[in-house]
Structure 1
Amino acid sequence: MLELQQKIKQAGLRVTHPRMAVLSILAQQSDDLTVKQIYQQLNLQQQQLSLATVYRVVSDLVVAGLLASYQFHRAETKFNFPNLSKIQLLQIRCSDLTTQKQTQFLQSLKVLFNQYQVDLMQVEIKESA
């Protein structure tokens, strides 16, 4: 907690409950989160902040350099600490993969990523419309 307070002060901002709460949520997560996900996590922890407040706090923290943001394609913007934002997103489009072929494809990706010491953190398969 003291480390987060020091970071806020070093950025020239006042230490407030909403800023501490948002930074605390992001410090507990390994994944980047959208503002809505941060808001949901805060509600789960019984922290009563409005969605508008969370948007405002996240915006202030990005401007101050305490948070990094990225948006891939048309997805929602995600946030995390700057040193964790070096995560790269790889999008591969394949046509008509059966379930068996999907499994084989994912296994071959894992082998390839392990060979080059790349961490495969999340895989999402979307069915085409």
Structure 2
Amino acid sequence: MLDVQYRLKQAGLRVTHSRMAVLKLLEQQGDDLTIKQIYQKLHVQHQQLSLATIYRVVSDLVDAGLIASYQFHRAEAKFNLPDQSKKQILHIQCSALTSNQQAQFLQSLQAVFQQFQVNLMQLEIQESA
């Protein structure tokens, strides 16, 4: 849930129940879904969102780059999360840092990513045993 909220905030979108519900549903699905399929699946999960709301939410999420839209010929547009295989992982290993040093390091790392227009999707810090 926190990951979904973080991605919405990073994309400059307000965290709403509707946006979170659609994003979580698309994370759980392996197949691309049409707007109507999204509506039906959310309805089965007792998410009472109107079809118009789902159209607006999906449009916002596509514009923000959080979900991808696919349309083949005259078929209905289908939506899913962008292809995860195109994402790259950067693994940095460093010596022990104090919490103050860690905060400074993360700030400088984020500044470098912004400078090169790299979209930082997730940041995870693991301490070795």
Q: 1:85 to 1:61 in 2, by over 3 A?
A: farther
1:69 and 1:80 in contact (8 A); partners too: yes
Give the SS at the match of 1:79.
Answer: strand
Distance (Å, rounded) in 1 between the aligned partners of 2:37 and 2:7? 23
Q: CA deviation at 1:68?
A: 0.4
Q: Paired residue for 2:102?
A: none
Q: Paired residue for 1:123?
A: none
Q: Paired residue for 2:52?
A: 52
**1:17-28, aligned counterparts within 5 Å?**
17-28=17-28
Give the SS at the match of 2:73.
Answer: coil
**1:1-129, aligned counterparts within 5 Å?**
1-83=1-83
Q: CA deviation at 1:19?
A: 0.1
Q: Which runs of 5+ in 1 are unaligned?
A: 87-129
For the aligned residue pairs, the C-alpha RMSD in angstroms reads: 1.5
Q: CA deviation at 1:25?
A: 0.7
Percentage of pairs with the same residue: 74
What's the CA shift string for 1:80-103, capped at 9, x where partnerless? 1112598xxxxxxxxxxxxxxxxx
Q: CA deviation at 1:72?
A: 0.3
List 4+ stretches of structure 1 deviating above 6 A: none
1:69 and 1:85 in contact (8 A); partners too: no
The alignment's TM-score, normalised by the length of structure 1, stands at 0.64
Q: State the structure with bigger RCO (CA 8 A, min sep 6), 1 or 2.
A: 2
Give the SS at the match of 2:79.
Answer: strand
Q: 1:34 to 1:85 in 2, by over 3 A?
A: farther
Q: How many residue pairs align between the two structures?
A: 86
